Amino acid sequence: MSLSDLAGFRRRSLSFVAGALSLAAIGGCQVRPLYSDGPTGSASTALAAIEISDANDRVEQEVRNALVFLTSRGQGEPVNPQYHLALSVSHRTMGVLYESTDNDDDDDDAGAGRVVVKADYNLTRTATGETVKAGNRAAVALVDFPQQEFAKIRAIRDGENRAAKELAEIIGADLAAALGR
């Protein structure tokens, strides 16, 4: 066996060993779906058994409606809930891009803004009152403020709806992760 044959053999065996080690390392990794046992699994069943507290205003109702749809997969609220989700939502609209106006007053008008929707939530078991998951989340929607007042009000409402839906999806993912364990 020549020296070049020996070097080629070493390279091939080294690459074989490296490949075998990487396959062994990858074999230890797992990818587990969020709803663990599929759409009819335990996490999905637990999500469908969540009762959500009543809303106090329109934006909170938007978050609540989206959460009911997400947790129950469109089947509505549970008849015999195993969990209760206490939900408290707040929202505010603020300008972020101000344009100076030509009129005599010192006020500047916002040409764009953002809608921030925040929620505090607490998921408890109805049988024991034990807290399963608690937290707070927020979602932001960017909004253009047109000069016409009705269009501005409608743009803000649209931003609130978008932020409420996004917030519901974030909270729904938190709940699914907590119940999937």
How much is the pLDDT for 162? 96
Fold of the domain built from segment(s) 37-99+109-180: Double Stranded RNA Binding Domain (3.30.160)
The model's confidence at residue 5, banded by pLDDT at 50, 70 and 90, is low
Tens digit of each residue's pLDDT (9 = 90 or more) over 95-142:
876 666 665 555 656 678 899 999 999 999 999 989 999 999 999 999
Both tokens assigned to 121? 């939530």
How much is the pLDDT for 25? 62
Q: Which helix (H) or strand (E) holds 16?
A: helix 3-27
How much is the pLDDT for 160? 95
Over range 73-85, report the average pLDDT. Answer: 86
Q: Give pTM, 2 decimals.
A: 0.71
**Which of the pair, 104 or 89, is modelled with greater confidence?**
89
Both tokens assigned to 41? 């699994």
Please answer whether residues 117 and 138 qualify as being in contact, where contact means their C-beta atoms are separated by less than 8 angstroms: yes
Tens digit of each residue's pLDDT (9 = 90 or more) over 19-69:
766 766 666 665 555 554 444 457 778 888 899 999 999 999 999 999 999
Measuring CA to CA, which residue among 55, 57, 44 is closest to residue 85? 55
Both tokens assigned to 21? 């080690």
Antiparallel, parallel or unpaired: β 50-52 and 83-100 = parallel
